[in-house]
Amino acid sequence: MKQVDIFVAFFRVGMLGYGGGPSSIPLVYKEVVDKYKWMDSDEFGDIVAIGNALPGPIATKLAGYIGYRVGGIVGMLNALVASTVPTIIMMIFLLNALNAYKDESWVKGMAAAVMPVVAVMLAVLTWDYVKKSWESTLGWGWTLLFVVASLILMEFANIHPAIIIFALLLGALLKKDSRSGDQGKKEKHST
């Protein structure tokens, strides 16, 4: 049964993938390429590359597209439900259980103790992005400039991040590819 296979494959991905969508990509690979052989590893690589070039969560893009390829529209919905719904239900149950005892002092203590842990997780994620950014073709100079500029725009000029991101995407799309070398200043960062 193909639909059952799709459900089982993406249910496993959803239940075993810790740390959000991007960390579950290898799990999807294991199911889709190794176990069920729905596609070969080259094709899988292409799909991941395209998924990464588009915005939005990667896990649902992969599940939806592969589900569609294997089992049509039903397969697509099936894969989406299998990878997202079980963990959402767990989340709703656990948070509501916690909320029922919200006013107890020990629950308040628990909630307070989690804050610094989440802050550390975010700090690590922030550092990840900064590092990836200056290791890319942007280099540390442009990274620093972009960081300072967007910080000022968002925090002091109160511009919605969507506008800044949209402007940057547009800029990246419209900028001419400088392969001829006559375009000066950014040349030293490229290969």
Partner 1 sequence: MIYLKIFWAFFVPGILGYGGGPASIPLIENEVVDRYGWLTVHEFSEVMALGNSLPGPIATKMAGYIGYEQAGVLGAAVGVFATAAPSLILMLASLGLLMKFKESPKVKRMTISVRPVIAVLLGIMTYDFFFSSYESVGMWQTLFIGAVSFFLMEKWKVHPAYVIAGALVYGGVFLGG
Query: Smallest distance, Å, CB 158 to partner 1?
Result: 10
Which of 40, 117, 157, 181 forms a contact with partner 1 (CB under 8 A)?
117
Please list, in sequence order, all residues whose beta carbon lies within 8 angstroms of the beta carbon of residue 21, skipping any fewer than 6 positions away. 57, 58, 59, 60
Q: Does 55 bind partner 1 (CB under 8 A)?
A: yes
Among 91, 141, 183, 187, binds partner 1 (CB under 8 A): 91
* Residue with token string 């579950």: 24
35 binds partner 1 (CB under 8 A): no
Site size with partner 1, rule: CB under 8 A? 92
Rg over alpha carbons for the chain, rounded to the nearest Å, is: 22
65 in contact with partner 1 (CB under 8 A): yes
Q: Tell the burial category of 154 from Cβ atoms under 10 Å away from its Cβ (0-12, 13-18, 19+).
A: middle
Query: Is residue 54 a contact point for partner 1 (CB under 8 A)?
Result: yes
C-alpha–C-alpha distance, residues 90 and 94, integer Å: 6
Listed ranges 1-9, 30-38, 149-157: which one lies at the site for partner 1 (CB under 8 A): 149-157
Q: Per CB under 8 A, does 57 bind partner 1?
A: yes
Spatial separation of the C-alpha atoms in residues 141 and 149, rounded to whole Å: 12
